[in-house]
Amino acid sequence: MRLLADGRIVLGGTSWWTPDGDADYYVERLIGNGDVDVTFNQSGAAVFPMGAATQDSCTGLAIQGDGRVLLGGSVASSVRTDFGVARLLP
Over residues 21-50, the pLDDT tens digits come to: 789 999 999 999 999 999 999 999 999 888
- Within 10 A of 31 (CB to CB), how many other CB atoms are there? 16
pLDDT tops 70 at residue 88: yes
Kindly report whether the global pTM for this prediction surpasses the value 0.75: yes
Sign of CA dihedral 33, 34, 38, 39: positive
Q: Which amino acid is at 79?
A: V
Burial of 49-61, coded b for 16+ CB within 10 Å and e otherwise, reads bbeeebbbbbeeb
Between these two residues, 78 and 82, which has the higher pLDDT value? 82
